[in-house]
Amino acid sequence: MMRCSRDSFFWSPKDPSPLAERTEELGGCELTRLLLCPVVLGFLKPAVRVQCASGQHFSLPLDMYGELSALREHLSEELSGENDASTLQLSDESQKPIEGQYLKGPCNILCARHGETLADAYQALKRAPSAQGSDPVDDGVAAAIREAGDNIRKFDA
């Protein structure tokens, strides 16, 4: 299996897939082209990893959730039952509150809902597999490879 990952980054597949796009435009098999030159199937984008006290975690693209208010809003929607984004406690790994309007770059964030503690989120972060192994990078690459195989079989038939 091909692995494409980097700690603190989020896999973002190209849409539409360059393999499907080229096959639709030109038809035929792309195998020869794949053997001769590289193909960009997606990008690794800087990410924020949020570890919740409940054990849930999220790896989110920094370009969409780098503003603290957008991150809070998204987390309140994802964490069912949390109607008020302002009740979420967010901190850095040292359990200090995050200051400012924007995150400074790829990072790990601890999150606790009402009745939970940031210490619990910190312990969950330490127990969790590294962000590298838990991001959907492998799924995105595997999906692109499966799509390429499907396209090759479709035109060979």
C-alpha 88: how far from its chain's center? 21
* d(C-alpha 140, C-alpha 130), whole Å: 18
What global pTM score does this model have? 0.68
What does the pLDDT look like over 41-64, one tens digit per residue?
888 999 999 999 999 999 999 999
pLDDT band at 133 (very low <50, low <70, confident <90, very high): very low
DSSP characters over 62-125:
HHHH-BHHHHHHHHHHHSTT---GGG-EEE-TTSPBP-SSB--SSEEEEEE-TT--HHHHHHHH
Q: In Å, what is the CA distance from 131 to each residue of 96, 137, 140, 149?
A: 21, 10, 15, 29
For 63-82, how does the pLDDT look when each residue is reduced to its tens digit (9 = 90+)?
999 999 999 999 999 987 65
Delineate the domains of the chain, giving CATH numbers in brackets.
Answer: 9-156 (3.10.20.90)
Report the range of poorest mean pLDDT among 1-10, 63-72, 76-85, 117-126.
Answer: 1-10
- Provide the mean pLDDT of the chain: 81
pLDDT at 18 over 90: no
Alpha carbons within 13 angstroms on the beta-carbon side of residue 79 total 27
Phi–psi pair at 37, nearest 5 degrees: -150, 155
Q: Within 13 Å of residue 130, how many CA atoms lie on the same side as its CB?
A: 8
Report phi then psi at 86, rounded to 5. Answer: -70, -15
**Is the CB of residue 6 less than 8 Å from the CB of residue 132?**
yes
User: Could you tell me whether strands 42-52 and 107-112 are parallel, antiparallel, or unpaired per DSSP bridges?
Assistant: parallel
Mean pLDDT over 108-119 rounds to 93
Of 85 and 14, the one with more pLDDT: 14
Q: What is the pLDDT of residue 23?
A: 84
